[in-house]
Chain A
């Protein structure tokens, strides 16, 4: 079975500071990893993905994530946070199986203070 852990319910950061949202995963086989963002009363929007190749993945809105196989982690990062980055962030994992569906973490709320 595959699983995802987001150990922090909430992350607070000041505008202009770097931010990190943590994610660890557990799968049998090679993982496909994703980050999604959810703004209030909206659906999930895709941010970035790791399928294979370079461990540092760049995505939308200046976000990036680093795949670390030995630590089974896929932390989301941004060098300089904006107030508009405040939202709910979900990490998700999938492998190639008949299901091909995502398993989501419980989500981390990011609050960026002005």
Chain B
């Protein structure tokens, strides 16, 4: 049981390049999330997917797109990378049952640098 996995672990892009960050979970969770972590700002939600086939914007969605490929996989795409997108990106998943919110489980992160 690997939990939440993310690839790649590190990436350096030039401004304007594109890339996709991959995330997969093996816990059969319905909900998946993408966050970015910047120093002194905690984690901020980029996009989330409440269930397979649905996605919605979070606090900071500009410059990103997502795809919920199936129940296990949730990818984040940067179409045209900018230096402001230099950050550490975390994927998370959770099981939400009726009105209760359960804890989220996080992947190890992808450290992205845009030059």
Which A residues lie at the B interface, using CB under 8 A? 4, 9, 32, 34, 36, 41-46, 49, 51, 90, 94-96, 98-107
Contacts and interface: CB of A to CB of B under 8 A. Distances in A.
B: contact size bracket: 20 to 34
Given A43-B106, A44-B90, A98-B50, A104 B100 contact: no
A107 B101 contact: no
A80 B35 CA distance: 32
Given A96-B99, A106-B41, A101 B58 contact: yes
Contact of A42 (B4, B45, B108): B108
Contacts of A105: 42
B101 A94 contact: yes
A100 B106 contact: no
Contact of B100 (A9, A42, A51): A51
Contacts of B56: 98-99
B90 A43 contact: yes
Q: Which of B4, B33, B106, B107 has most A Cβ within 10 Å?
A: B106
Nearest to A96: B99
Contacts of B58: 99, 101
A55 B42 CA distance: 25
B107 A43 contact: yes
